[in-house]
Copies of this chain bind each other. A is one copy, B any other.
Amino acid sequence: MGILHAVSASLLDRDGLRERIGVELAAFLAERAAELAEISADLGSVATTIRDFVLDGGKRLRPAFGYWGWRGAGGTATSDAAVVRAVAALELVHAGALIHDDVMDGSATRRGAASVHERFADLHRSSAWTGAPAGFGRAAAILLGDLTLVWADEMLASARLSIESVGRARPAYDAMRTEVMAGQYLDVLAQAQPSVTASQALRVARYKSAKYTVERPLHLGGLLHGCSTALLDCYSAYGVPVGEAFQLRDDLLGVYGDPGVTGKPAGDDLREGKRTALIALALEHGSNSEVAVVQRLLGDPLLDDAGVATLRAAIDDSGAPARVEALITERLDRGVVALAGGQVEPVAAAVLAGLAEMSATRHA
């Protein structure tokens, strides 16, 4: 793990990108905090919670794909903050989506810390306010997610890029937002079905993850610079399979990942009963007894460590993890091949190949 981790960290850090994204986000959020402070001192906890949530965590993967989409179209490495500011807006979209996702799932933690609705429920409790802390926390988190989403949009529009450039890129940004919410709805819908096929799970992954995390950020970056339709097609041919591989790896990490590395409690995906491609494949290909174990234990919110171990073993024995690994490899290969056509500027192509590898083989 050490080597891959080092590779991925350095890739996400090329051109000092990670730090520059953080600087832009911090500056933008400080402006917003000042705007809120003018309205009322009571909004201090809103501003600091969003700032902490955005600045304390996250791989900055979507801004990175946005940046390399711009580089791949011929953008040159530069200290100019405008493009970095524009793509950093993707991190705010993502923060808003995560804040709402945690409310929808009732998740108490995110990135190893309390989720936003839990932080506000705690504020309610420690302040001894009236009413239900949980209801207050949920209401606050819905509003904070809304605020973060609309701020994303404001951040993109306020980047010091030409109006033409932003106007050109906007359709990709708009499509991305509709697709991620559509994908999220399809996911919620899938979780409410008695069973989900692997192909249904992959469709959710395509919209909720692949297009949102990889393809559309690349399009956004390419269009900010100005690029050919051929380059956009190349970004799709790379981005969709690589993004699906990213999600398939996420499914595996949700069941077999090391909580100390992922920041997610072990077994939570199993207790929650997430209907991923991994689970669908276990149900499609497992023996009768393996299928029976999955059907009996998956989605049991009170599943203890022994139950988690039993369920993991049944999924393992069904051969589903190996099938998912094969799907990941096939997608990774397909994505990397798409880069070989010479459309993408060489340095960017090399970084994107590395990011594909990282997305497919990461441990957190």
Contact = CB atoms under 8 A, between A and B. Distances in A.
Contacts of A186: 39-40, 42-43
Interface in A27-46: 32, 35-36, 39-40, 42-43, 46
Question: Interface centre among A42, A130, A185, A191, by most B CB within 10 Å?
Answer: A185
Given A130-B192, A130-B193, A153-B150, A39 B138 contact: no
Contact of A181 (B129, B136, B143, B181): B143
Interface residues of A, number: 58
A103 to B, nearest CB: 6
Interface stretch (A61-69, A172-180, A243-251): A172-180
Interface in A171-214: 174-175, 177-179, 181-186, 188-189, 191-194, 203, 207
A6 to B, nearest CB: 37
Counting from the closest, the 9 A-B pairs by CB-CB distance are: A129-B192, A104-B139, A150-B177, A154-B174, A147-B181, A163-B163, A139-B188, A39-B182, A143-B185
A145 B147 CA distance: 12
A188 B150 contact: no
Interface string A126-138: 0001110001101
Nearest to A162: B163
A143 B184 contact: yes
A98 interface: no
Contacts of A157: 170, 174
A253 interface: no
A291 interface: no
In the complex this chain forms, how many copies of it are found?
2
B174 A43 contact: no
Contact of A43 (B36, B185, B193): B185
A84 B164 CA distance: 23
B142 A182 contact: no
A124 interface: yes
B46 A182 contact: yes
B154 A32 contact: no
B189 A42 contact: yes
Nearest to A146: B181
A40 B192 contact: no
B163 A167 contact: yes
Given A150-B149, A150-B174, A185 B136 contact: no
A170 B177 CA distance: 19
Nearest to A194: B130
A46 B183 CA distance: 12
A114 B104 CA distance: 20
Given A39-B207, A104-B138, A192 B149 contact: no
Contacts of A71: none
